[in-house]
Structure 1
Amino acid sequence: MQLRHLNTFAAVADTLNFTRAAERVHLSQSSVTEQIQTLEADLGIRLFDRSRRRLSLTPAGQRLLGYATELLKLADEAHSAVAEASDTISGSLVIGGLETLCATRLPELIAEFHRRYSAVELTLKTADSGGLRSGIRSGDLDVGFFFGEAPAATDVQSVSVAEEQLLIILPPDHRLAGRKEVGPEDLADDAFLVTQPGCVYRKMFDEAFAGTPPERPKPVGEFASIGSIRGLVEAGLGCALVPRSALAVHPGHLVAIPWSGRSRTTPVTMMWRRRRVHAPAIAAFLATARECLGGQTRR
């Protein structure tokens, strides 16, 4: 068994799709198929059931997956331990973040990290909070940044590195435009623009109005991005609850008022995979992020 074959096997086992697995391991679909067939030939047993419409692991494949996961983890830790002996921190890192954070907080952090460790190749990707968590677990991302608390898990670690003030954004002619702050009771009868359930911004809204009746305030629609919500608020369609960074790039012609509800801020959380030994580049990035972002509250 070769580690590269086990890595490909783990990707197919996780996605149960040869096309998506090929994208994850950066190979053609034919190469993925060939590697799985080679691994099955080496072991003398089928690892996947291809007879049904949906690909599935055989009992042998399920048993191998546990060993493959441990072997790949050990290989990764061995590589990191050896790299620690080098005087130069190098390699590559893939950083992920919510689009709002990628446009506001992360550029300064990444620029500072590059000044300190120019031999490390950096990639920055945007994703929603669910995509960031799954990317960390699969190894597609090394570090991820999002708003809100991280769910408890044994395979990842997380820390709150900053706080973000929550704001209510209103159309310019809104009746509350002159207020210094607003709370749930002030907006119970207002129309609100929200993202889809499962999105971190929707969770902020649901938690902010958890003490009000289910029908108050009433969302008038679900929208795909904070950018579109910001534009619709500006056009007068309704109000929205957003972190301050959402207004940093294109503030627009709207009114932003601090939220006076029970939680006035939301944490900026950094997440990474749990390892016994971190690659030097990851360890350096985590330390730099804590230093550059640590304790910041944007108001």
Structure 2
Amino acid sequence: MINFRILRHMWLFLAVAEEKHFGRAAKRLGMTQPPLTQQIQVLESSLKIQLFDRSRKGVQLTPAGQAILPAVKKFAGQVERLDLAIREAIAGQTGIITVGAISTAMLDVLPAYLEKMKKAVPELTISVKEIDSAEAIPLLQSGDIDLAFARLTGALGNDIASLPLASDNLVVALPHDHFLAGKNSVALDALSNEKWVMFARHVSPVFYDSITAACHNRGFSPRIIHEVRSVASQIAFVSCGQGIALVPSKLERLSPANIVTLPLDKNIKVITTAVAWSSARNNPAVDMFIEVIKQP
């Protein structure tokens, strides 16, 4: 039997886990600290485990707290989605879809498609959440999202359909005082001894593999010093003098004044965004969204 009292306390646990401070969590929840502390103690007593280590340095999750945090986050997201669907239904809305998108897609291709979709179906509610490319397929398969805008290519698994949307040539992002900064273009093998800032493979396997394969074809393996989750993070690390990075040319506009971006002497073209969806699920709103995307 579901213990709804424990479920209610999970929101309190999540707030403290994310804020790492009882006072800030209480403020976020619109309550005072003593009742929050008491309710967390009640939750720990009910579960018969300690969730937090409390010290003068702050609040940290125990191993048990860390173990349940991902499931609590997922549950909270599903409940929020259910709540939104109920409220929209009461308001007379005809449907809701959840779009998962990588940050670069949200900056580049997604806004135009959202605008077209809202014009085509103004009564449809579209919820957008940020994801990593590696999360796209599992989230589609679980039904947590209806559409994914991510770096995807090739066979994506049974019942997953996809459509490439955008590709781009990579450029080299260098500190402005780098010895190569004055060049018109850069050969890839000229970067063999550099410190690289790269997407972590688990975040964007396609992006990672395409770059490492190009390097191997030029006779070297990139010296990856920092692994990050976004192009913005790549550029930020380069700006701090932590290495060089290959980034899509369309996003070089994100570069601050102390970064120089140069083309490669031989282009490396990558798919920067594809849209994917589950063909096993019958969702007319998703079908309509794909038709909107296909329109010229």
TM beyond 0.5: yes
Task: Determine the structure 1 residue equivalent to 2:214.
Answer: 208
2:122 to 112, 118, 122: 118
For the 8 Å contact 1:161–1:268, the answer to whether it is kept is: yes
Note the 1:6-17 alignment, pairs <5 A. none
One-letter code aligned to 1:234: S
Match of 2:295, SS state, is helix
Distance in 2, matches of 1:168 and 1:135, equals 32
Q: Structure 1 CA distance, aligned partners of 2:266 and 2:203?
A: 20
C-alpha distance in 2 between matches for 1:190 and 1:142: 40
TM-score where L is the length of structure 2: 0.63
The separation in 1 between residues aligned to 2:187 and 2:273, in whole angstroms, is 22
Is the CA contact (8 Å cut-off) linking 1:95 and 1:141 kept in structure 2?
A: yes
1:184 positional shift: 1.8
Matched position secondary structure for 2:139: helix
Counterpart of 1:66 in structure 2 is none
Deviation at 1:177, TM superposition (A): 2.1
Confirm or deny that 1:191 pairs with 2:199. Answer: no
Identity of aligned residues (%): 21
The partner residue of 2:79 within 9, 23, 26 is: 26
Provide the rounded CA distance (Å) in 1 between the counterparts of 2:269 and 2:181.
Answer: 19
Matching residue of 1:221: 226
Residue in structure 1 matched with residue 178 of structure 2 by the alignment: 174
Greater relative CO (CA pairs within 8 A, separation 6+)? 1
Residues 113, 174 of structure 1: alpha-carbon distance in 2 compared, 3 angstrom cutoff: same
Residue in structure 1 matched with residue 134 of structure 2 by the alignment: 130
Structure 2 gaps of 5+ residues are: 1-67, 81-92
In the other structure, the counterpart of 1:242 is: 247
The yes-or-no answer on 1:232 pairing with 2:237 is yes
Give the equivalent residue in structure 1 for 2:276. Answer: 271
Report if the CA contact (8 A) 2:167-2:269 is conserved.
no
Q: What do residues 8-28 of structure 1 show as CA deviations (whole Å, max 9, x unaligned)?
A: xxxxxxx9x97577446529x
Structure 2: distance between partners of 1:231 and 1:193: 10
Partners of 1:158 and 1:147 in 2: CA distance = 11
Pair 1:255 & 2:260 matched: yes
Question: Greater shift after overlay, 120-129 or 216-225?
Answer: 216-225
Q: Could you tell me how far apart the structure 2 residues matched to 1:178 and 1:152 are?
A: 41
Deviations 1:80-101 (A, max 9, x none): xxxxxxxxx9411111111111
Q: CA deviation at 1:240?
A: 0.3
Per mean C-alpha deviation after superposition, the further-off stretch among 121-130 and 107-116 is 107-116
Q: Distance in 2 between matches of 1:152 and 1:104?
A: 23
RMSD: 2.8
The equivalent residue for 2:95 is: 91
Question: Is the Cα–Cα contact under 8 Å of residues 129 and 199 in structure 1 kept in the other structure?
Answer: yes
* Partners of 1:168 and 1:257 within 8 A in 2: yes
Residue aligned with 1:210, SS: helix
TM-score normalised to the size of structure 1?
0.63
Shift of 1:205: 2.8
Q: Secondary structure at the match of 1:137?
A: helix
Q: Give, as a single letter, the amino acid of the residue that structure 1 aligns with 2:233.
A: S
Question: Aligned-pair distance for 1:283?
Answer: 1.4
The question of whether the paired residues in 1 share the 8 Å contact of 2:170 and 2:267 is answered with: no
